[in-house]
Amino acid sequence: MLPTNHIPSKHDLLNIPFFDTLEKTDGGKIFYRGSDELGNKIYTLGRQFVPHIVIPCIHDMWKILNQRKEDLLLVDTLPCVNNLMRIGGFSSRRLKWVKFGRPIVAYGTLSAYKNIVKVVEETKKILH
C-alpha cells in the first residue's frame, strides 16, 4: 500500500485505513490486509506478549487443516517497532489520546520505514 523506493509522507501513512486502529481486544485476532503483487494473501496478527503461545498455535492449526507447510510464511515485524511507535501507540490506543499519540506513532513509523521496507524486500525474496 506504500512505496518501497522512498519514504512516504505522514499524510500517506495516516491514510492507510487500518493505521493505528488496533484495540487491546484485537490481540490474537487475525486481520486480512490485502494481497501482494503475486496474489499472496497478507494478514496481520497482534501477538503482543505471547508469541511463544501464538506462533506454535498457528503452525499446529495449519497442520490440522492439512495445508502445505511451504504455503505459510510468518514474518516477525516486531524488530522494526521503535520506542516512538510504542509510546505513540500506547497513548493513542490504550489511553485514547489519539490526537497526541497518533502523530508520534506516525513519526516513529516513518523513522523506521527503511527497516520495514527491508523486511518486506527480504520476505519477497523468500517468496520468489
How many angstroms separate the CA atoms of 80 and 76, rounded?
Answer: 9
- Find the domain containing 54 and state its range: 10-127
In a domain, 1, yes or no: no
In a domain, 3, yes or no: no
pLDDT digits (tens, 9 = 90+) for 6-61: 999 999 999 999 999 988 888 889 999 999 988 999 999 988 778 888 889 999 99
pLDDT digits (tens, 9 = 90+) for 88-117: 999 999 999 999 999 999 999 999 999 999
In the chain, how many domains are there? Answer: 1
What is the DSSP secondary-structure string of 2-67?
A: --SSSPPPHHHHHTSTTTT---GGGTT-EEEEEE-TT--EEEEE--TT-HHHHHHHHHHHHHHTT-
Mean per-residue pLDDT over the chain, rounded: 92
CB-based contacts of 118, cutoff 8 Å, min separation 6: none
In a domain, 2, yes or no: no
pTM: 0.87
In a domain, 93, yes or no: yes
In a domain, 4, yes or no: no
